[in-house]
Structure 1
Amino acid sequence: MIHKLVLFCLCILPLIGAANEIVSAMEGESFTLRTGFTERQADQDIEWRFGSSRTLLTSHTVFRDRLQLDRQTGDLTITNINNEHTGVYELNVANKALKFIVTVYAPVPVPVITRYSPQCSSSSSSSSSSSSSSSLELKSVLLCSVVNVSHVTLSWYKGNSLLSSISESDFRISLSLPLEVEYQDINTYSCVIKNPVSTQTTHLDIDQLCQTCSDCDYYWSQTAEAVIRLVVSAVVGVAAVAAVVVLVYDIRSRRAGLEWKFTKQ
């Protein structure tokens, strides 16, 4: 709602002849509204007002013990700010109206990278000769996640190249952005979250991921074990069939010999 009001002010203020300045600030810090005056104009009183009700800042409770006014220039500094200080500020002095559109943003958290599908998977690849073969590849889907955020953009980068991004502008929610990677990839990936006043980055080295991927070792050990079992089973099966063939041949040979002896007698 506040940001819709800000957009409305951006549209309407030029129509009433006011000078407008856009200010972005971060919670917990301070911002200064600069008038541009080098000295105070005559004996004009300096009055800063806030919001649609144009309440005097000195009588507004959200500004208690936060105001610092430069009596010479009229510059106003507000300290230890929070989201309540988002809005429109107005100064009327020397027959000149100054208006400032201020938006206060929360600092963004550090994004967290997790493995969404840690199991190694198989995929099919086709050659240029249109013949296809199945190959085993170490792949994983990564999730870059942040919680309780608004007015942010969450992005995946490979090196300096943007791979994907997602934005949220209105509500404080949790965001997650997936990315499929191969463990043999030598590139460095990073997940970046930012808003107009702050940025946080978490880097991911594929080699580091693979080193901590115990399930990959498990996958290969299970695959090797399965192959060995298959080979052993095949060898035992062939040996059993060969033994049966030899036994049947030996029985038939003995029977044929006995029949020949009886016939001769």
Structure 2
Amino acid sequence: MLKSVSVKEGDSVTLNSDLTEMKDDDVIQWTFGDKNTLIAEINIMDDRITVYDDVLDGRFRDRLKLDKQTGSLTITNTTTELEGGYKLQINSEIKRFRLSVFVKSVSVKEGDSVSLNSDLTEMKDNDVIQWRFKNTLIAEINKWFDRITVYDDVLDGRFRDRLKLDKQTGSLTITNTTTEHAGDYKLLMFSGFFSSKAFRVSVYGK
């Protein structure tokens, strides 16, 4: 049986084992994705709890919490990169979950400016961030090379003279918005490990 679970990006979500208490000889394993990558396990007999949060480019780093009594898994600070299939194996029993992560919705009046916030207070010396609109690269900051680049001539120039990057936080501001700027934006952050944020911008008429 597949259980569907939804969460708003940035919030926490718990995938419940439905156990009240684990037995002395229980072994549970949590895996993620089509390749069943092991992300967490509890072995009661060996008195061992292990979280493998550096797998898959570190997307789970500092985000996984296991309940040692029930084996339930909590994922904190969710991003769209954590969407997908999760499998819980308790001895020979299997439970499956499908996690959906909702993006942050932002609305702006046509002609006004809108800011998409990275939620960073300050970028580090080796950070790289990229902003994409419908998967097209529109802006980038590379602190390692001290480079800020705005690709505002892409997509028929709809972003020309409209993009402003905050060099301290990496947040993106779009000025003088039109309905052509409505759609899905994604922020990719590389800072020792990979993370992302997604935004859906709606532009309404004057």
TM superposition score normalised by structure 1 = 0.37
- Structure with the largest fraction of strand: 2
> Higher relative CO (CA 8 A, sep ≥ 6), structure 1 or 2?
2
TM superposition score normalised by structure 2 = 0.47
